[in-house]
Amino acid sequence: MLKPELDDDHPHFSPTYAVARDRFISRARRLGAELERHVHPEARGPAAEPLSIDVAFAGPRDAAGVLVVISATHGVEGFAGSAVQLDLLDRLVQTPPKVGLMLIHGLNPYGFAWIRRTNEDNVDLNRNFVDHDAAAPDDSAYRALHPLLVPARWSGPERDAADNGLMAKVAELGPRAVQEAITCGQYSHPDGLYYGGRAPAWSNRVLRGLIAARLEAVPRVGVIDIHTGLGPAGHGELLFSGEPDGDECRRAQAWWGADEVEIERLGEAISPPLNGEMPTAFDAVPGAVTRITLEYGTAPMLEVMQALRAETWTTARGAIQSAEGQAAKAALRAAFELPDAQWRADVLARGRVVIDKAMAGLAG
Ligand SMILES: [Zn+2]
């Protein structure tokens, strides 16, 4: 199952999570980087292999600036993120003076290995970083759409009615409002889309532990979280989710260019503001933090959404081993990673620019 349709020989874009992880480890070792492995306590991969978050540290121990680069917050999106990390390890001779690197490979290894955007509990990790002791964010707009997104049946009149209902909502509310209602993060439907969970996920706890252990005494921290699936194909947009007027925003604009940084809260970005975004975990860093989401476009939004609905439906109904289920997996992967050489080249080239600008910003 999950037979990769892509070129297995590409040095950066790996056919499976397991291959990507092996490549990451061997490149980090070759560079002399320190490695740390966090194995998932229960979940295993398709070949019963352990699933882990692997972290490589390079550069000086007393770095004044550390750049954190994260892949696979959204599982299946990790093929591109891992490729950018492997490319960085390949081309890195040494970090700029006083700058260290912390590469987090496979933050959501379950989704990476099983071709899911979400984790082992269908939790969207990038909606999971809310205060779970407080009341969950209002998701009434999602609730109204849920029966249409994940209908009782995936074919026949019920499916047609659901699709027509969604189209009617888009006509009534506009595409942006419907996008926001679906994607902003919901906390009521564990079998639904963009479900944020009811407790901190394992990956969430591991990340918070890493931040506490490694970034407590670092004066300047940069964070690049790599995603795919939104925006024009191949282009890597820079999404900023923090305060529009703060120091962090000014630093981001200075590092990457004011016209490059899209501010979610000003409605400039391809993504509206979200609940429980992962980068908020870095609020715990005492130093100056500069965070960006590097979002590579793939397919049109409607195509990506249909692929997500189908894969979520088949998984929730336990039909993932069926031919239909496997087709849904293949379509999901194709929606988040384009198998063409130009897209891959664009991803790597853009990744280099974004990373190098961040390292220069941290060094300065
Ligand atoms: Zn994503």
Average pLDDT over residues 10-21: 96
Do 220 and 288 contact (CB within 8 A), yes or no? yes
Distance 118 CA to ligand 1 centre (A): 9
- Cα of 267 vs centre of ligand 1, distance in Å, is 18
CA of 32 to the centre of ligand 1 (A): 30
Tell me the CA–centroid distance for residue 97 and ligand 1, in Å.
Answer: 32
**Distances 187 to 108, 177, 198, 201 between C-alpha atoms, Å:** 19, 18, 7, 13
Confidence of residue 7 (pLDDT cuts 50, 70, 90): low
Which residues does 312 contact at the CB level (< 8 Å), separation at least 6? 122, 149, 150, 191, 192, 193
Place of tokens 């299946």: 76
The whole-number average pLDDT for the span 320-348 is 93
Domains with residue ranges and CATH for the chain: 17-130+200-363 (3.40.630.10), 140-183 (no CATH)
Query: How many C-beta neighbours within 10 Å does residue 8 have?
Result: 10
Q: pLDDT tens across 51-103, in order?
A: 999 999 999 989 999 999 999 999 999 999 999 999 999 999 888 889 999 99
**CA angle, 169 as apex, 130 and 125 as ends, to 5°?**
20
> 117 CA to middle of ligand 1, Å?
7
Q: Rounded mean pLDDT of the chain? A: 94
Ligand 1 mean position, distance from CA 60 (Å): 31
CA–CA dist 101, 185 (Å, integer): 30
Distance in angstroms (rounded) separating the CA atoms of residues 94 and 108: 28
pLDDT at 124 exceeding the cut of 80: yes
28 CB contacts (<8 Å, ≥6 apart)? 35, 54, 56, 58, 89, 103
* Residue range 124-131: mean pLDDT, rounded: 98
Q: What is the number of residues in the chain?
A: 364
Residue 2 has pLDDT above 50, yes or no: no
Q: How far is the CA of 159 from the centre of ligand 1 (A)?
A: 26
Tens-digit pLDDT profile for residues 136-195: 999 999 999 999 999 999 989 999 999 999 999 999 999 999 999 999 999 999 999 999
How far apart are the CA of 73 and the centre of ligand 1, in A?
A: 7
The pLDDT tens digits of the residues spanning 312-321 come to 999 988 778 8
Q: How confident is the model at residue 267 (pLDDT cuts 50, 70, 90)?
A: confident
Mean pLDDT (whole number) for 328-332: 96
The mean pLDDT of 293-321, rounded to a whole number, is 93
**Residues 199, 123: Cα–Cα separation, whole Å:** 10
Look at residue 96 in the predicted model and tell me its pLDDT.
85
Choose the weakest-confidence range: 8-12, 68-72, 180-184, 229-233: 8-12
Arithmetic mean of pLDDT, 321-333: 93
The residues with which 224 forms a beta bridge, in sequence order, are: 69, 292
CA of 43 to the centre of ligand 1 (A): 21
pLDDT for the residue numbered 8: 61
Report d(CA 105, CA 22) in Å as an integer: 11
Task: Please tell me the least confidently modeled range out of 120-134, 177-191, 307-321, 348-362.
Answer: 307-321
Place of tokens 């194909």: 233
CA of 296 to the centre of ligand 1 (A): 9
Question: Lowest-pLDDT range, 11-25, 123-137, 316-330?
Answer: 316-330
- Which pLDDT score is estimated for 162? 96
What lies within 8 Å, CB to CB, of 348 at 6+ separation is: 12, 83, 84, 87
- The owner of tokens 């109204």 is 144
Residue 227 Cα to ligand 1 middle (Å): 4
Q: Which two tokens stand for residue 18?
A: 């397991």
Query: What's the confidence (pLDDT) of residue 219?
Result: 97
Residue 98 CA to ligand 1 centre (angstroms): 31
pLDDT at 335: 97
Q: How far apart are CA 68 and CA 91, in angstroms?
A: 17
Residue 5 confidence (pLDDT) above 90: no
Q: Does position 328 have pLDDT exceeding 60, yes or no?
A: yes
Name the pTM for this structure.
0.96
Phi, psi values for residue 113, rounded to 5°: -75, -35
